[in-house]
Amino acid sequence: MSKERSREELKIGIAGFYDRSSKLWEEVWGEHMHHGYYVPANRTDHKQAQVDLIDEVLKWANVPSSHNDEPSSRFPTKCIDVGCGIGGSSRHIVRKYGCTCNGITLSPYQAGRGNELAKNEGLDNLAQFQVADALDIPFEDGSFDLVWSLESGEHMPDKEKFVSELFRVAMPGGRIILVTWCHRDLNYGENSLTRKEKRLLSKINRAYYLPQWCSVDDYVNIIEKMGGEDIKRDDWSYIIAPFWKAVIKSSLNFRSLFGLLKSGFSTQRGAYAMFLMLRGFNKGLIKFGLITFTKA
């Protein structure tokens, strides 16, 4: 198995990967750089499925909808989007609740594009984006009542430090939502994944600049140790299952192939890794894990 990258190597690699690939992704898939919500499973409105995923995760995490007869005091007022991409989730949450949202990403391109889109949509007074490390979030303790991390936890080389930062910036009573790729929970009597499973994840790690994976169980153990309350977890692997096939199919059209050729080796390697991700999901090795909890 290949040597693990250091934290600094991962940061440089992640920033470069997303600097090079985000423009192509936006051209093909739009502003949301995450899975879609496929209920029913045969839906083909992929961009709307991505928007629906945000709303369904918020609903699942008991964040009230602005359309319900909920007390307005329970609506989020200050949100942080940890690993924000080009800010699709942030702007959606801002429009939904009228709150502010600060997005952080390692990619200068993503932060710049996020601010550009917010300005174009007249949301720049509410949604702002900057380059920052999720393991060293540049905000004070207790700054946010909604801490949102959608598909960025898999990039974190120190999961305990990552969770501790989510805790730190949350207000007392604040809601933390973590949606991330995980490997399967270990079965009773298992000490680790199989050698074959580790080999598949290692190939994906090289392409997507990922560190070692963990399970939802591992995350829950960390959260419990740190005093998280009202912990809820779920596995939505079956809900997002059609996504990777749709992405692979979209990458085979002429415009996407041309963009892929222009975007460089790391993006091309990332495209190949989509097949590995699909294999991992199909084998039950890779899980789309949802975890939410509150800070005491």
The residue ranking higher by pLDDT, 290 or 244, is: 290
Q: Which residue type, as a one-letter code, is found at position 124?
A: D
pLDDT of residue 68: 55
The residue ranking higher by pLDDT, 12 or 261, is: 12
pLDDT of residue 211: 95
Q: Which residue type, as a one-letter code, is found at position 242?
A: P
pLDDT digits (tens, 9 = 90+) for 20-36: 889 888 988 899 999 99
> Whose CA is closest to 252, among 231, 237, 274?
274
**Distance, CA of 85 to CA of 234 (rounded, Å):** 23
What tokens does 33 get?
């750089």
Side-chain half-sphere CA neighbours of 59 within 13 A:
11
pLDDT of residue 265: 44
Is a pLDDT exceeding 80 seen at residue 136? Answer: yes
The residue ranking higher by pLDDT, 155 or 260, is: 155
pLDDT of residue 274: 82
pLDDT digits (tens, 9 = 90+) for 68-77: 546 555 789 9
**Distance, CA of 3 to CA of 131 (rounded, Å):** 27
> Whose CA is closest to 292, among 140, 147, 99?
147
12-16, 40-44, 224-228: which has the highest mean pLDDT? Answer: 224-228
pLDDT of residue 225: 97
**Distance, CA of 126 to CA of 176 (rounded, Å):** 20
pLDDT of residue 282: 93
E strands present in 165-262: 170-183, 229-235
User: Position of tokens 């079956």?
Assistant: 238
Q: Which residue type, as a one-letter code, is found at position 161?
A: K
SS3 97: helix
The residue ranking higher by pLDDT, 198 or 267, is: 198
pTM for the full model? 0.91
Round the CA-based radius of gyration of the chain to a whole number and report it.
18
pLDDT digits (tens, 9 = 90+) for 81-116: 999 999 999 999 999 999 999 999 999 999 999 999
**Distance, CA of 35 to CA of 32 (rounded, Å):** 8
Domains of the chain: 7-294 (3.40.50.150)
pLDDT digits (tens, 9 = 90+) for 140-178: 999 999 999 999 999 999 999 999 999 999 999 999 999
Q: Which residue type, as a one-letter code, is found at position 110?
A: Q
pLDDT of residue 212: 94
State in Å, rounded, how far the first CA of the chain is from the last one: 41
**Distance, CA of 86 to CA of 187 (rounded, Å):** 37
pLDDT of residue 20: 86
The whole-chain average pLDDT of the chain stands at 90
Averaged pLDDT, 204-213: 91
Q: Is 2 exposed, middle or buried (0-12, 13-18, 19+ CB in 10 A)?
A: exposed
